[in-house]
Amino acid sequence: EVQLVESGGGLVQPGGSLRLSCAASGFTFSSYWMYWVRQAPGKGLVWVSRIKRDGTNIRYADSVKGRFTISRDNAKNTLYLQMNSLRAEDTSVYYCTRSGDGGGFDIWGQGTIVTVSS
Amino acid sequence: DIQMTQSPSSLSASVGDRVTITCQASQDINNYLNWYQQKPGKAPELLIYDASNLETGVPSRFSGSGSGTDFSFAISSLQPEDIATYYCQQYDSLPITFGQGTRLEIK
């Protein structure tokens, strides 16, 4: 079964750090561009970051640039998001997703909740 | 950034009705437009990619059309399981942006 499973979310104080992981299975992880998308409570979808198949061509949304770092380990079939200097406005469900052959985000994880609060 | 303006923001319709949602981009996005369905507490699901292509396994009552800056999404005969929020998304240029969503309810 093609699957993405996120982990690493939780409650963190403002200014703190978290590392999210996304484990891929059922497909050749190294063949796909990967993305992080987030959704604040009751709000819409917001693109966060992307990374090319080989770990290059990394881009970030302006709102997280300089604070978040995306990476991947193709040997472990895992995508990461290191989040530093967290703010209340980073509170969201974070989804990992892949770009399918047709260009849309065709596989999504179940999401992991990040809450930034004192 | 490319702004995606989706309308309506909410919609109430009866089972069997035809439902249409529109999405307008602030500039030409070369048909790099996708549509997603999101049910409460769940991850989004891809329905339509590249404006008009039905994702594998998606029922044929869903369709997409349009080009340039103006796009539409339709459900030909609304079913109870179609209750969800629908989003358009452009990937012509970064940052990737989504419409604000259309919440679909059963009348």
Determine the average pLDDT of the residues in B49-53: 97
pLDDT at B35: 98
Whether residue B21 is predicted with pLDDT greater than 90 in this model: the reply is: yes
Whether residue A101 is predicted with pLDDT greater than 90 in this model: the reply is: no
Give per-residue burial for A16-45: e unless 16+ CB within 10 Å, then b: eebebbbbbeeeebeebbbbbbbbeeeebb
pLDDT at B17: 98
Q: How much of chain B, in percent, has pLDDT values that exceed 70?
A: 100
Whether residue B83 is predicted with pLDDT greater than 90 in this model: the reply is: yes
Reduced to 3 states (helix: H, G, I; strand: E, B; else coil), residue B34 is strand
Q: Chain B residue with minimal CA distance to A95?
A: B43
Nearest to A104 among B49, B97, B100 (CB): B49
Helix%, strand%, coil% for chain A, nearest 5: 5, 50, 45
Rounded CA separation A60/A33 (Å): 14
Rounded CA separation A19/A22 (Å): 10
pLDDT at B57: 96
Residue B22's beta-bridge partner residues? B7, B72
Q: Please judge whether B36 and A105 are an interchain contact, meaning their C-beta atoms are less than 8 angstroms apart.
A: yes
Reduced to 3 states (helix: H, G, I; strand: E, B; else coil), residue A76 is coil
Determine the average pLDDT of the residues in B41-52: 97
pLDDT at A67: 98
CA dihedral B11, B13, B17, B23 (to 10 degrees): 0
Rounded CA separation A110/A96 (Å): 8
* pLDDT tens, residue by residue, A50-87: 999 999 999 999 999 999 999 999 999 999 999 999 99
pLDDT at B46: 98
pLDDT at A96: 98
pLDDT at B81: 97
Q: Please judge whether A45 and B87 are an interchain contact, meaning their C-beta atoms are less than 8 angstroms apart.
A: yes
- Encoded tokens for B3: 């702004």
What is the nearest CA distance from A102 to chain B, expressed in angstroms?
6
pLDDT at A103: 83
Residues of B contacting chain A (CB within 8 angstroms): 32, 34, 36, 38, 43-46, 48-50, 53, 55, 87, 89, 91, 94-101
Determine the average pLDDT of the residues in A41-45: 97
Residue B98's beta-bridge partner residues? B89
Whether residue A102 is predicted with pLDDT greater than 90 in this model: the reply is: no
